[in-house]
């Protein structure tokens, strides 16, 4: 049997019980919406706008909160979730909302205003409480529908005020990558009535990604399938190289697990993660030409780091250990080793020149002071071969 025992919990449609790093936000949002719907009487509209980069957890937060609300209110609240990117047109968004409230509502043959009216009337007959989640709302503004979308949002937010509607309460949670929709598309009147509150979701930092990944590991994998240190490697990588996108973090975790399984390993090792990073094609490809551009001793230093990592089974190697390998490699290539300060300078330059692939970390202080760690985010075997090939070409050139 493989190490992934519950693959479904690595799907992006899966909504976990907990949202590490977003629990506080979850309960804040939940209580805001609950307060709004629990008022004793009176009609009203509440608009909340959530924005943040891809993979910052916007969709999963809204789905989690929707489930929490369902658990509290049961059938006493109507909740609709629409991903506007799939619907694209305002009319289809309305049709989606209608079908989620009641399958018996008509889907076509109405004007947009009539449609909206029908949705509200149906809600009034049912629960008198409606939460609409409009995910990726920015996609409604991409095409020629921009004005229609603005009209729709205005109508949605003003309906309860303009129509005698008893105790009807409507909340809209709209979600987007940026604030652009608000500033660029909504006129001041619509903005004021459609958005009462804005919530920004910051990109995840390494520690937050670590918590998110640890939890997914617990859910999806057999015990002891990956060490905390290696989860940390993945979390740091995604924070540094993929803007803290949790979607990429989870994809890489799944991919690493699959690669480990293919190799019949009982545990995810750094090399599985490196292969996953390569397969995911996040980083610029490492072509020989780029390596040819590095001077001889930089290549030797790079080769030392690769060899040291191959020996270590860890995601990183300290500069001190790499330096030991460097001396051996210099002997192998009949080169006089450079001094420590020079090697440090090379490393920093390589870090820039092969950005993303070679990373340097200054680790916390230990008994022997700070130590520098070198990480390589590419499969080592292939990388080593490429470096050796380039070294051969370089040395041949020099000898001509």
Ligand X SMILES: Nc1ncnc2c1ncn2[C@@H]1O[C@H](COP(=O)(O)OP(=O)(O)O)[C@@H](O)[C@H]1O
Report in angstroms how near the CB of residue 63 gets to ligand X at its nearest.
8
Asked whether 132 and 107 are in contact (CB, 8 A), the reply is no
Among the listed residues 4, 20, 230, 252, the single contact to ligand X using CB under 6 A? 20
x/- site string to Mg ion, residues 41 to 80, per CB under 5 A?
Answer: ------------------x---------------------
Asked whether 124 and 102 are in contact (CB, 8 A), the reply is no
Bridge partners, 78 (sequence order) = 130
CA distance 396 to 108: 74
Q: Are strands 44-52 and 169-176 parallel, antiparallel or unpaired?
A: parallel
Among Mg ion, ligand X, none, what does residue 22 contact (CB within 5–8 Å per kind)? ligand X
Range 199-238, binding ligand X (CB under 6 A): 212
Report in angstroms how near the CB of residue 27 gets to ligand X at its nearest.
13
Range 250-269, binding ligand X (CB under 6 A): 250
Q: Which stretch binds ligand X (CB under 6 A): 49-57, 105-113, 325-333, 364-372?
A: 49-57
Q: Which stretch binds ligand X (CB under 6 A): 19-27, 151-159, 178-186, 317-325?
A: 19-27
Asked whether 72 and 220 are in contact (CB, 8 A), the reply is no
CA distance 350 to 52: 33
Tokens of 243: 């803007």
Question: Is residue 64 at the binding interface for ligand X, with CB under 6 A as the rule?
Answer: no
Closest CA to 204 of 252, 253, 237: 237
Question: Is residue 57 at the binding interface for ligand X, with CB under 6 A as the rule?
Answer: yes
Question: Is residue 55 at the binding interface for ligand X, with CB under 6 A as the rule?
Answer: yes
- Alpha-carbon separation of residue 29 from 147, 182, 281 (angstroms): 29, 20, 36
Bridge partners, 317 (sequence order) = 374
Among the listed residues 9, 56, 174, 230, the single contact to ligand X using CB under 6 A? 56
CA distance 261 to 1: 9
Asked whether 230 and 3 are in contact (CB, 8 A), the reply is no
| Size, binding site for ligand X by CB under 6 A | 18
Report in angstroms how near the CB of residue 134 gets to ligand X at its nearest.
13
Question: Is residue 59 at the binding interface for ligand X, with CB under 6 A as the rule?
Answer: yes
Range 159-198, binding ligand X (CB under 6 A): none
Tokens of 367: 């008994």
Among Mg ion, ligand X, none, what does residue 284 contact (CB within 5–8 Å per kind)? none
Binding positions for ligand X, rule: CB under 6 A: 12, 16, 19-22, 52, 54-60, 212, 246-247, 250
């Amino acid at each position: 049997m493989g190490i992934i025992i519950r693959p479904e919990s690595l799907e992006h449609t899966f909504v976990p019980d907990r949202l590490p790093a977003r629990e506080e936000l979850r309960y804040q949002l939940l209580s805001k919406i609950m307060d709004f719907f629990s008022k004793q009487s009176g009609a009203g509209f509440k608009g909340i706008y959530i924005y943040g980069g891809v993979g910052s957890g916007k969709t999963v937060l809204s789905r989690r909160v929707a489930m929490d609300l369902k658990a509290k209110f049961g059938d006493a609240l109507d909740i609709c979730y629409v991903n506007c990117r799939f619907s694209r047109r305002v009319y289809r968004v309305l049709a989606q909302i209608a079908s989620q409230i009641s399958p018996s509502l008509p889907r076509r043959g109405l004007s947009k205003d009539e449609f909206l009216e029908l949705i509200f009337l149906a809600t009034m007959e049912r629960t008198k409480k409606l939460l609409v989640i409009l995910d990726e709302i920015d996609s409604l503004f991409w095409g020629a529908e921009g004005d229609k979308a603005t009209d729709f949002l205005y109508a949605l937010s003003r309906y309860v005020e303009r129509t005698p509607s008893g105790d009807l309460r409507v909340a809209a949670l709209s979600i987007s990558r940026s604030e652009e929709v608000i500033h660029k598309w909504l006129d001041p009147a619509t903005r004021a009535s459609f958005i009462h509150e804005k919530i920004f979701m910051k990109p995840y930092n390494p520690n937050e990604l670590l918590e998110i990944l640890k939890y997914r590991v617990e859910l999806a994998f057999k015990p002891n399938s990956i060490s905390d240190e290696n989860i940390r490697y993945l979390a740091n990588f995604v924070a540094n190289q993929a803007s803290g996108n949790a979607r990429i973090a989870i994809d890489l975790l799944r991919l690493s697990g699959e690669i480990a399984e293919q190799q019949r390993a009982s545990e995810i090792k750094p090399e599985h993660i490196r292969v996953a990073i390569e397969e995911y094609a996040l980083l610029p490809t490492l072509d020989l030409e780029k390596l040819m551009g590095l001077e001889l001793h930089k290549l030797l230093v790079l080769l030392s780091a690769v060899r040291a990592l191959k020996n270590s089974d860890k995601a990183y190697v300290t500069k001190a250990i790499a330096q030991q390998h460097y001396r051996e490699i210099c002997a192998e290539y009949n080169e006089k080793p450079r001094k420590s300060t020079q090697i440090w300078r090379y490393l920093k330059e390589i870090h820039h020149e092969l950005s993303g692939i070679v990373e340097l970390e200054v680790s916390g202080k230990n008994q022997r002071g700070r130590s520098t760690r070198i990480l390589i985010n590419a499969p080592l075997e292939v990388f080593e071969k490429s470096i050796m090939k380039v070294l051969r070409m370089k040395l041949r050139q020099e000898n001509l």
